[in-house]
Amino acid sequence: EDKKILLKVPVAFATSLPGLGTPIPKVAEQIELVTNKSIRMKVYEPGKLVAPFEILGAVSAGKINAGYTTAGYWAGKIPASPLFSAVPFGPDAGEYMAWMYYGNGMKLYQEMYDTAGYNVKVMPCAINPPETSGWFAKPIEKPEDLQGLRMRFFGLGAKVMEKLGVSTSLLPGSEIFPALEKGAIDATEFSTPSVDTRVGFHKIVKYNYFPGWHQQSTIFELLINKDVWNKMSASQQAALNQVCKASMADSFAEGEAKQFSAMKENVEKRGVKIMQWNDTMLNAFQGAWDEVVAEQSAADPMFKKIWDDMSAFREDYKLWGQNAFLPRK
């Protein structure tokens, strides 16, 4: 008989946001069924127990035993962490999971937390399709159009935008719309069309850019205090692993399923213009990203180690990736 355990799981995103927050209540429901209630999960909305940016520290210290969030939120604590959330010009969901589960991704993910001295067990527990590239008040045709913009931006992409003369800040989801409305920022990115629409950016800024070069896919993680993890039975550990893996598939399916209707309504009912970055812009982003990677790799050994491994995997993957798929248009 396994020892019963209650995982208290504060989350970084409201559980009502499709794809972003919706996966974890399903995980909570499933883990209870799968383990015949030997593991129960109690999900706490953002900030109820602890604020999103405090989750890692609190889980590691054992103040709470688990948390659901995304690694990019630890950029101030572990410079390499955004590589496990989303990588500019990085892999899409299929390739990302290939590296995570069949490359060295999972090993490096855990090693990163161990090396930084965090007493946590990490597992990917949801993955999202590409995000939109942001919402702007006017068309952006050339890099100069970005100069002087003030924009909310997440993760490594923010450093790219800074290189192009954008002043970025990482506002939490709830503060973006008011900042936009008051003109404290001129533009923003947040998430997928279905999430962005709920927040209401289209009411202020109408030019919605694609593709999301900065987040072709985004991984969300379940963190569990390592002492708690080690005390679980092998069966309980396997159950958590498998339920999270199932959640990867489910969240990806949900994300893929929910975007087109949001985009269609945006265009037809809300006057949104769906825009594509031109080649000049994509090249400018790519160029700036190359600089950012070089700087980050030079500054942080762990970043370099993970980046090199991921890049090597992706280089090999190209032979498959470039031959196997039909063009999307």
Judged by the rule CB under 8 A, the positions of this chain that interact with another protein are 6, 8, 14, 16-17, 44-51, 53-54, 57-58, 60-65, 73-78, 116-117, 148, 150, 158-159, 162, 167-170, 172-175, 177-179, 181-184, 197-200, 203-204, 269
Residue 96 or 153 having the CB closest to another protein: 153
Stretch that binds Na ion, among 148-156, 219-227, 260-268, 288-296 (CB under 5 A): 148-156
Residue 109 or 154 having the CB closest to Na ion: 154
Residue listed under structure tokens 């949801």? 126
Q: In what helix (H) or strand (E) does residue 66 lie, and over which residues does it extend?
A: strand 66-69
Q: Return the SS3 of 60.
A: helix
Residue listed under structure tokens 């087109």? 260
Residue 81 C-beta: closest distance to Na ion, Å: 15
In the region spanning residues 66 to 125, those forming contacts with Na ion, defined by CB under 5 A, are none
Contact predicate 78/229, CB 8 Å: no
Residue 235 C-beta: closest distance to another protein, Å: 21
Residue 158 C-beta: closest distance to another protein, Å: 5
Residue 115 or 169 having the CB closest to Na ion: 169
Residue 67 C-beta: closest distance to Na ion, Å: 19
> Closest by alpha carbon to 9, among 221, 259, 215?
221
> Closest by alpha carbon to 96, among 122, 67, 70, 128?
128
Residue 192 C-beta: closest distance to another protein, Å: 13
> From residue 268, how far is each of 18, 190, 272, 297 by CA, in Å?
21, 22, 8, 44
Structure tokens at 257: 């399923």
Residue 75 or 284 having the CB closest to another protein: 75
- By CB under 5 A, name the one of 113, 154, 209, 313 that touches Na ion: 154
CA 112 – CA 274 distance, rounded (Å): 38
The strand pair at 273-276 and 134-136 is best described as unpaired
In the region spanning residues 214 to 253, those forming contacts with Na ion, defined by CB under 5 A, are none
Count the alpha carbons within 13 Å of 328 in the hemisphere toward its beta carbon.
3
What is the DSSP code (8-state) at residue 138? S
Residue 38 or 85 having the CB closest to Na ion: 85
What is the DSSP code (8-state) at residue 11? B
Q: Which does 327 bind (CB under 5 to 8 A by kind): Na ion, another protein, none?
A: none
Structure tokens at 254: 């949900």
Contact predicate 292/79, CB 8 Å: no
Residue 325 C-beta: closest distance to another protein, Å: 33
Give the DSSP letter string of 17-34: STTTTTHHHHHHHHHHHH
Residue 64 or 160 having the CB closest to Na ion: 160
Helices (H), 173-233: 173-181, 193-199, 226-231
Residue 116 or 282 having the CB closest to another protein: 116
Residue 74 or 96 having the CB closest to another protein: 74
Residue 276 C-beta: closest distance to another protein, Å: 25
Residue 14 C-beta: closest distance to another protein, Å: 5
The residue number with the shortest CB distance to Na ion is 154
Applying CB under 5 A, the site for Na ion has a residue count of 1
Q: Which residues bind Na ion (CB under 5 A)?
A: 154
